[in-house]
Structure formats: structure tokens, C-alpha cells
Amino acid sequence: EVQLVESGGGLVQPGGSLRLSCAASGFTFSSYTMNWVRQAPGKGLEWISYINTISANRWYADSVKGRFTISRDNAKNSLWLQMNSLRVEDTAVYYCVRDSHYAFDYWGQGTLVTVSS
């Protein structure tokens, strides 16, 4: 069974940093590209970052470019999102998402990040 388990969310002040983690199991992690997608409270979905299988290509939404960094370790079946210079508008549930055929086929349960003073 495919499982994606996020952790690392919490309350952080504007300008602060947070590192989200995603532990993957139930599939060959090294064979799949991975993403982070977020959802602000009561709002829609927003794709924010992608990483390919060997970390050679990393793409970001304009809203997070230069502030967030995606990374992975295939030996540890893990995905991370380093978030710096956090803003109030980054408050959201962050989902770790596997993609296949450019569609997001498995989602974690999400971790809530709250940016507030």
C-alpha cells in the first residue's frame, strides 16, 4: 500500500523557517517524481514544487521561488521542503504528492503550517 506521511508542520513567525518531511513507503520511491501541493484554509489547491527522480530537475511556483527548496533522498525514501522567509500567506496544509503521467496519483494526509506573529 502506498503511504506518504508528512511531518514538520507547526506555528512559525513571519520571516521564520520550517522544514517539512515526507516519508514514503509501499512503492519504489526512486522511480517516481514527487511534488508538494498546498491548500490554504478554506481555499483551493496550489502546486508549489516538483523534483525528478534523481534531483536533477526542480521546479517551483512563482509564489515560493527563491524561498523554498525541495530535496529528496532515495536511499531514505524521503522528501523534504525547506521553507525560508515564511509569510502569512504561506499558511496552509502542505501535501506530499507522488506524480505519475503528470497527474498526482497519491497524496499524504497533509501537515499544517501556520505563519503568524
112 binds another protein (CB under 8 A): no
User: Quick check: 114 and 51 in contact, CB under 8 A?
Assistant: no
The stretch near another protein (CB under 8 A) out of 14-22, 73-81, 83-91, 108-116 is: 108-116
Contact residue for another protein among 47, 53, 112, 114 (CB under 8 A): 47
User: Quick check: 34 and 104 in contact, CB under 8 A?
Assistant: no
Shortest Å, Cβ 43 to another protein: 8
Contact residue for another protein among 45, 53, 71, 82 (CB under 8 A): 45
The residue count for binding another protein (CB under 8 A) is 21
CA 13, 4, 95, 33: dihedral to nearest 10 degrees?
A: 110
Shortest Å, Cβ 14 to another protein: 23
The C-alpha atoms of residue 63 and residue 65 are separated, in whole angstroms, by 6
User: Quick check: 6 and 22 in contact, CB under 8 A?
Assistant: yes
27 binds another protein (CB under 8 A): no
User: Quick check: 18 and 9 in contact, CB under 8 A?
Assistant: yes
Shortest Å, Cβ 105 to another protein: 5
**Adjacent-strand bridge partners of 78:** 23, 73
In the complex, the residues that contact another protein under the rule CB under 8 A are 35, 44-47, 50, 59, 61-63, 95, 100-105, 107-110
